[in-house]
Amino acid sequence: MTRHLVCFRGNTSSSALSSIIDKRIQFSISIPFSKRRGLCAMARRPPVLSLALPSETGRVLSIQSHTVQGYVGNKSAVFPLQLLGYDVDPINSVQFSNHTGYPTFKGQVLNGDQLWDLIEGLAANDLLYYTHLLTGYIGSASFLSTVLKVVNRLRSINPNLVYVCDPVMGDEGKLYVPQDLVSLYREKVVPVASMLTPNQFEVELLTGMRVTSEKDGLEACNILHAAGPTKVVITSMVIDDKLHLIGSNKKGKSQTPEQFKIVVPKIPAYFTGTGDLMTALLLGWSNKYPDDLGRAAELAVSSLQAVLRRTVADYEKAGFDPQTSSLEIRLVQSQEDIRNPPIEYKAEKFN
């Protein structure tokens, strides 16, 4: 039996409709049905509003881990960026029931081929225009190599793509990822990143130098600038039992970087997802203040600290000692502190 595809709108007379049907049947018999069946849908497909009417902030592709319960990876990054006005499309590098600090977890891990399938699917529908790429925890060298392909693909469409990379490799002297990722980050990822947000241990891995003082931190930032990224934020350094953030913004090849620090009192508790949240906030605010990384860092740090204080207070309210275990951050309850953080921590510029 021959099948024909007929598309028409209302308010059409019977004689006109007969004529339309005759013409479309004649046209359709020359086209295989497998191709004909999408014609109506294509004609009616609405625009993608995040592309047709882009937000003033941008459109972010975020490739990070995901947990069903709790806030790490994309669960810590997507919602805050949306609150700050960004359209965010998440790709989950892993999908776990909960973070790996629990006694057990279940889930799936995305491989490089599966990541590329998603990118190809977006490309096939002209959906691959992004202003920002954000990456966090990546567990294998093959997946990270595919991320590099993604960077190249996105920049072939938007040469001005901003790539914000949180090089999640470890903390406090402990490596979380296979050793071969360290050299891949150092040799391949750092040169194509626009902004890097390592912690103290990670910046040592990337530069090959010990970083134990403010002077070391500034030197490490300069080494990373020379390799590629114009913005570097060492998100946490412990100096004299206080947390230091060190930021550096090199606005031009011949210009001296603008460098600063923010000193933050340590909260006596351990939290999950804070690095992911911090990098998302830095992306969000640095795009709003592109020439003032210090201002962006002040807003990001003030938001993060407000979230952490609320988290501790809520655990204490529930009768739990917050110093006895890792804590899930109270993200949803801190929306106003993310949108409009009161600046409590100021950037101090280095001469």
Q: What does the CA dihedral 71, 75, 76, 82 come to, rounded to 10 degrees? A: -140
Tell me the backbone φ, ψ of residue 140, rounded to 5 degrees: -145, 155
Q: What does the CA dihedral 176, 177, 181, 185 come to, rounded to 10 degrees? A: -40
Q: What span, in angstroms and rounded, lies between the C-alpha atoms of 149 and 120?
A: 12
Tell me the backbone φ, ψ of residue 344, rounded to 5 degrees: -110, -15
Tally helices (H) and strands (E) across the chain.
Answer: 13, 14
Which residue, chain included where needed, has tokens 């049947």?
Answer: 25
DSSP-derived secondary structure for 277-313: HHHHHHHHHHHHSTT-HHHHHHHHHHHHHHHHHHHHH
276 flagged as catalytic? yes
Which one of 180, 276, 291, 337 is the catalytic residue?
A: 276
Would you please indicate which residues are annotated as catalytic (active-site) residues?
A: 276
